[in-house]
Chain A
Amino acid sequence: MKRPVLALLVLALTVGGYFLTRDDDAAILTRQLRRIETMGSHQSGEGQIPRQARAANLRELFTPDTSLLIRIPDHGERKLSNREELMDVVRQVKAGVDAMRLEFLDPKVTVFADRRVAEARTTLRATIGENANSQQLFVELKVQWRREDGNWAIEGIETIRTVGR
């Protein structure tokens, strides 16, 4: 009589533990945005090798056919249609910009019912340069993910509007 009760208790604890400790998709995707912040940011005194090495890790967060439509205030629009183009731009920015800090403000992630696609609305705060001469750009973005082989990767980023410049 005791054994079935014990077995049920173990089962309940296992199932409960699984649901309590599993990572939900929105949390995974929010963490990806935080990783982009880290990989995309660099400080003024940081050498080219570490900043390029960290940025190279961005590759794994994007699908090969990722597309980006970025409108930068006072600099027009730039469209990138695959991951290699994106990585080229990232390398150029890392080499040419003295310091940069990226922050995704208040991201709101929506995972759709089939759990194969997801979307986030967020405002990107990009601080270019350090201290007295730094400039900030604020753009509202739509980030779209696709899940392939169990892994989430970004398949598109689109600028919705410029919030501040």
Chain B
Amino acid sequence: MRIVVLIIAVVAFYKWVAFPVRASGDSMIPTIQDRQVVLAWRMNRFSPALKRGDLVVINYAGERQLLLKRILGLPGERFAMRNGAIFINGEIIPEPYVQFQAGDWNRAEILLEADEYFFCGDNRSMGLANHYATTVKRDRIMGKVKR
């Protein structure tokens, strides 16, 4: 009986509260290493609003394609990337978590929609074309990783 209750509790915890995610690749180093396992707290309507710098798990395609990235641009903001630096509403923002700076990533300015965020990884030393650095709607963000 105890085992059944334990199994139900574990399943319910993973389904409604938090779930483990294993990072695959180097796009988040040095914050998260390749193959590192982190716990993502599920987002729901009662979750607090996302802030710049939050680490999130995004369901980007199908059922299995999950991304572990950092939120950089918030809804309603003008987002741009110039020579690897992030500009929000025309002003550069500090990024202490970035230790491998590319220096040559560029992205023309876009206006983020009401429920749209811009995300990117912390490792900017890899080619932009091999990196997921784009926008996402709020309903695709499945969980938030607390560090």
Identify which of residues 111-147 in chain B touch chain A, using a CB-to-CB cut-off of 8 Å: 127-129, 132-137, 140
Contact B62 A108 (CB under 8 A): yes
Q: Which residues of B contact A7 (CB under 8 A)?
A: none
Q: How far is the CA of A74 from the CA of B109 in the complex (A)?
A: 12
The answer, yes or no, to whether B105 is at the interface (CB within 8 Å) is yes
Partner of A165, one of B64, B110, B129, B132: B110
CB-based nearest A residue for B137 = A163
Contact A131 B135 (CB under 8 A): no
Q: How far is the CA of A121 from the CA of B128 in the complex (A)?
A: 26
Q: Which residues of B contact A64 (CB under 8 A)?
A: none
Q: Which residues of A contact B134 (CB under 8 A)?
A: 136-138, 164-165
A interface residues, how many (CB within 8 angstroms): 25
The answer, yes or no, to whether A132 is at the interface (CB within 8 Å) is yes
Q: Which residues of A contact B110 (CB under 8 A)?
A: 74, 165
Known: A163-B136, A163-B137, A164-B136. A134 touches B128 (CB 8 A): yes
Q: How far is the CA of A105 from the CA of B58 in the complex (A)?
A: 14
The answer, yes or no, to whether B106 is at the interface (CB within 8 Å) is yes
The answer, yes or no, to whether B95 is at the interface (CB within 8 Å) is no
Known: A131-B128, A134-B128. A106 touches B133 (CB 8 A): no
Contact B129 A105 (CB under 8 A): no
Q: Which residues of B contact A106 (CB under 8 A)?
A: 61-65
CB-based nearest A residue for B128 = A134
Identify which of residues 141-165 in chain A touch chain B, using a CB-to-CB cut-off of 8 Å: 163-165
Contact B65 A164 (CB under 8 A): no
Contact A132 B105 (CB under 8 A): yes
Chain A 60-74: CB-based contact to B (< 8 A → 1; otherwise 0): 000000000000001
Q: Which 4 A-B pairs have the closest CB atoms?
A: A106-B62, A123-B61, A105-B61, A164-B134
B residues whose Cβ falls under 8 Å from a Cβ of A: 60-65, 102, 104-108, 110, 127-129, 132-137, 140
A residues whose Cβ falls under 8 Å from a Cβ of B: 74, 101, 105-108, 121-123, 125, 127, 129-138, 140, 163-165
